[in-house]
Chains A and B, each alone.
Chain A
Amino acid sequence: MEKTYYNPADLSKFGNISELQPEMGRKFFDYYGEVFKEGALTAREKALIALAVSHAVQCPYCIDAYSTDCLEKGADENQMMEAVHVAAAIKGGAALVHGVQMMNKIKELTM
């Protein structure tokens, strides 16, 4: 088997992170479970946000998990791709808005 840093089978072992630090692990998963419960936002809206964030943080495990989760929660392909564009817009915007800092520096350094 080709050696890579990411193995899809590791996704199902996510819960194992508690083995080395049970207390923190438990607190994290309790919190995680609480976050994704239906609340002011629907479970589907939360899954779409998670999908967008997965792309922003470029986590392949999360992309796998939340693509499936979005499908299971009834999101359609357009909604899912729009969520990815939201992530892309924020990431792209975040890079571009620093262009103002660059422009400030240019002004500072040039005649």
Chain B
Amino acid sequence: MGSSVKSLKGRQHELSDAFFQLNVLQAPTQHGDQFPAFAGRLQEHGLYPLKPTGTTILQVNMGKMCNQTCKHCHVDAGPDRKEIMTREIMHQCLEALQQSPNITTVDLTGGAPEMNPDFRWFVEELSKLGRQVIVRCNLTIILANKKYHDLPAFFKQHGVHVVSSLPYFQASRTDAQRGDGVFEKSIKALQMLNEVGYGLEGSDLVLDLVYNPSGAFLPSAQASLEAEFKRRLRSGYSIEFHNLFCITNLPVSRFLDYLVQSGNYDTYMEKLVNAFNPVAAAGVMCRNTISVGWDGYLYDCDFNQMLELQVEQSSPRHIRDFNAAVLDRRSIVLNQHCYGCTAGAGSSCGGETVK
């Protein structure tokens, strides 16, 4: 990619430190006010402590390595990140799944999960277990190297549910967020997925897109934006897809850096706090998901993972000790970034949480 952005870690930026990020999230505003504690807001609505509703999704971060360096990336992923999940940890994930029949879905994310050398092996093993596999594919990886060109066929072979980020139906805003040339390559990759049958009406090869606002504003109502995306991608590029998931950018890692650098942090947090919706809070994804880090440690969600907030101490904290029944009794670890998932219609890896 033509992007010149390096990871925060690669730049030895202070915000690459989770502790420093948490300090920013706890700090008073420029006017000296304190944002209300997220836990307190849940308490007002009888949702504290926040408890799981039963784990049905295992989200697996296969590594922080990525061919892109998106400006809003909460993982701080990029070509310079070397953290990668080993096959040993993947074996432990498979063992955990074998003893947890209620977990019906495995959601593979990264970085670019496809860059993990054991990615295909892992998908095959997950298929054998009969679990629905979601791959969070950044699209451009399909074109990044010859060895990835057959990914659409591989996904099809294993009935993988493909979920791909496309911030906008035009190059300007997409490239501004994800790097120069990303839009053009994403369009080509979407066409390749359509060619093998993904995203077509009536097809069970599911292709969903993810919309993140490209700046310090909240996402639109999902249904109306989905209609607009479908209209523009169909008329401009003959692209079909199934659903558009609208996701709110959480003030974590590179998006937090953007908010601070652009002077938007206080107003963005204020917006999230004012848009707190108890109905969205009741449906947050951490209630039915466990997130596994590249090194096997367990988190309530991908964002807690990046802030190094492991599941509470009384729970198994590593995939080798996985026990769904015990984990389902834990209290979910919360912090101020959680306002991002409870604003407006809510936000999760599957889009809005208010249906």
Contact = CB atoms under 8 A, between A and B. Distances in A.
Interface of A: 12, 38, 42-44, 68, 71-74, 76-77
25 contacts: A12-B270, A12-B274, A44-B220, A44-B224, A44-B228, A68-B217, A71-B213, A71-B215, A71-B217, A72-B213, A72-B217, A72-B218, A72-B219, A72-B220, A73-B220, A73-B221, A73-B224, A73-B225, A74-B220, A74-B224, A74-B225, A76-B168, A76-B172, A76-B173, A77-B172
B7 to A, nearest CB: 27
B98 interface: no
Interface string B231-242: 000000000000
Contacts of B170: 76
Contacts of B172: 76-77
Nearest to B229: A74
Nearest to B214: A71
A75 B221 CA distance: 12
Contacts of A44: 220, 224, 228
Contact of B221 (A12, A43, A71, A77): A43
Given A43-B224, A44-B220, 17 more contacts: A12-B270, A42-B224, A43-B221, A44-B224, A44-B228, A71-B215, A71-B217, A72-B213, A72-B217, A72-B218, A73-B224, A74-B220, A74-B224, A74-B225, A74-B228, A76-B172, A77-B172
A90 B219 CA distance: 31
Contacts of A71: 213, 215, 217
Nearest to B216: A68
A38 B225 CA distance: 13
Q: For the complex, would chain B's binding face be called helix, strand, loop or mixed by DSSP majority?
A: loop
Interface of B: 168, 170, 172-173, 213, 215, 217-221, 224-225, 228, 270, 274
- List of 4 A-B pairs having minimum Cβ-Cβ separation, nearest first: A74-B225, A74-B220, A73-B220, A71-B217
B217 A38 contact: no
Contacts of B219: 72
Contacts of B274: 12
Contacts of A38: 224
A43 B227 CA distance: 13
Contacts of B228: 44, 74
B33 to A, nearest CB: 11
Nearest to A8: B267
A110 B170 CA distance: 57
Contacts of B213: 71-72
Contacts of B270: 12
A29 to B, nearest CB: 15
A38 B217 CA distance: 20
A61 to B, nearest CB: 14
A43 B225 CA distance: 11
Nearest to A38: B224
Nearest to B221: A43
A38 to B, nearest CB: 7
B223 to A, nearest CB: 10
Nearest to B168: A76
A38 B227 CA distance: 14
Contacts of A12: 270, 274
Contacts of A77: 172
A77 B274 CA distance: 26
Nearest to A78: B170
B305 to A, nearest CB: 27
